Amino acid sequence: MQAAFIFDSPMIAKLPAETVVYLPGTRDHTVQVAGHEVHYIKVPGYVKFGYHLINFFVRKLLKITNVPEYLNMLSFVYFSHMAAFYLLQNDYEHLLFASDELKQKVLLQTK
């Protein structure tokens, strides 16, 4: 069995059959989509609150107006942490990642 850790739903159509897919979502649940088992990982409210705190700190206190690196940074870190957790819970033969950065973050947490 193989697993895919992706960010966008349209990418599901490009995946091989019998792939377990992990996506960020609005609530934790599992559905079947086109022969794939799709697990949605909800980012909790405290992570979103932390994002607002970081934005306040960067924009108001440091007076930096445009910092695209901080956009959804905490959500990405939380998703990569949960992806590593689910990866350790299951035995997959092949892994597919949406980006090299996500792959690096997840695999570092599984050592």
Crossing angle, helix 73-89 and helix 100-109, to 10 degrees?
50
* Domain-embedded: residue 61: no
* Domain-embedded: residue 57: no
- Is residue 103 over pLDDT 70? yes
For the chain, how are helix, strand and coil distributed in percent, rounded to 5? 50, 25, 30
pTM: 0.79
* Domain-embedded: residue 27: yes
Total domain count, the chain: 1
Domain limits for position 32: 2-44+77-110
Mean pLDDT across the chain: 83
* Domain-embedded: residue 105: yes
Q: Where on the phi/psi map is residue 36: left (φ > 0), alpha (ψ -120 to 50), or beta?
A: beta
pLDDT at site 85: 94
78 burial class (0-12, 13-18, 19+ CB within 10 angstroms)? buried
* Domain-embedded: residue 71: no
* Domain-embedded: residue 69: no
